[in-house]
Amino acid sequence: MTKISFVCPIFNKKKYLNLVLSSIKKQTGSFEKEYIFINDGSTDGSLEYLKNKTQKWKNTSILSQKNRGPSIATQSGIDVATGDYIKLVGGDDVMSPNCCEILLKTILKKKSVAAFSSYKLLQNYSNIPFEKKLIKNYRFLEDPLKATISSCFSGTTPNLYCNKTIQKYGGCNKKLFVEDFSLVLSLARFGNFCFIDNITSFGPKDDKNRIMIGKKTQLIHDYNAALYYFIKKNKLDESVLKIACRKSIGRAEKWFRREKKKTKFNKMSFLRMCLFLGSKNYLNLIKESCFFIYKHSKNKSIRYKIKDYSP
């Protein structure tokens, strides 16, 4: 029987854990289940609450570490997972009861290495509108690398990933803080992706402790740094490198204009011009986009900077 490993990193999520754990436990479908929780240095009693609520669960492991961020925490869980598929679960996300069931059906259609569904943010978790629909608008990408770089495919709770492919080719980059984009990049070279429109999970809309809300600069940086490390490690076609460069430079420039409220010509404008005029120093251009963010962000905005940066 197919086995799914639920991997759930937790950092100070006690107020959400009752609903999060309930949604994990209520997953429907004919598959074996393994539960792996990673306490990432919580100080709000999350670990104690987690131990108490799961003490009677079978096939459950709880790992604990000093706070090192979601990428390292998530990969620690993946490293010990024995399932055929990895179901990442955000520590404040609630899944619909059929989330895993419908994602498993989706990923098995063409033996994909990743299945992506939709996600919705809510003001509160009362009366969550769970869908009970069949697969909606199934799409398939045979060679997803360019699209992954261009569209930044990522995510945790709405998605399902092939564990065998992760174990063989790499998972979350532990040199980064944010986990999901580097994980998806590592999968994009070695299998097809599929997508559905079903809303399978929900998250809190205005919680500043969420990375996408409270750590936007870290997130922008980690998208670019993930591309830097990925290109440094892999031999890629020039067409892919150009897309990665354009995205990284454009992302850093938009971040600068938004954060500083300035529209004047800047270093990213210059690098974009260099790329247009034929520069092929792709790896260095992406690295410079990261350095640009370091220079113009607050000192503690970024954890895990690229090592050879010197202010």
Note the pLDDT tens digit of each residue in 87-114.
999 999 999 999 999 999 999 999 999 9
Mention the CATH class of domain 3-210.
alpha beta
Among all chains, which residue has been given the structure tokens 């564990």?
163
Confidence of residue 36 (pLDDT cuts 50, 70, 90): very high
pLDDT digits (tens, 9 = 90+) for 6-33: 999 999 999 999 999 999 999 999 999 9
List the end-to-end C-alpha distance of the chain, in Å, as a whole number: 54
- What's the pLDDT score for residue 299? 74
Strands (E), 51-192: 60-65, 85-88, 94-95, 114-122, 139-141, 159-162
Q: Write down the mean pLDDT value for the chain.
A: 95
Please report the pLDDT score of residue 131 as a whole number: 85
Q: Does 263 have pLDDT greater than 90?
A: no
Write down the domain spans for the chain.
3-210, 215-296
Q: Which two tokens stand for residue 221?
A: 């940086």
Q: What is the pLDDT of residue 309?
A: 60
**String of b and e for 34-59 (b: at least 16 CB within 10 Å)?**
bbbbbbbbbeeebbebbeebbeeeee
Answer whether residue 311 shows pLDDT above 60.
no
Model confidence at 261: pLDDT above 90:
no
pLDDT in tens, 157-194: 999 999 999 999 989 999 999 999 999 999 999 999 99
**How much is the average pLDDT of 272-301?**
93
Section 306-310 average pLDDT: 74
Q: Is residue 113 a contact partner of residue 140, using CB atoms and an 8 Å limit?
A: no
Residues 76-90: pLDDT tens digits?
A: 999 999 999 999 999
Q: 243 pLDDT exceeds 90? A: yes
Burial status of residue 181 (CB atoms within 10 A of its CB: 0-12, 13-18, 19 or more)? buried
* Across 39-53, 125-139, 192-206, least confident range: 125-139
Q: Which tens digit of pLDDT belongs to each residue from 58-75? A: 999 999 999 999 999 999
200, 135 in Cβ contact below 8 A?
Answer: no
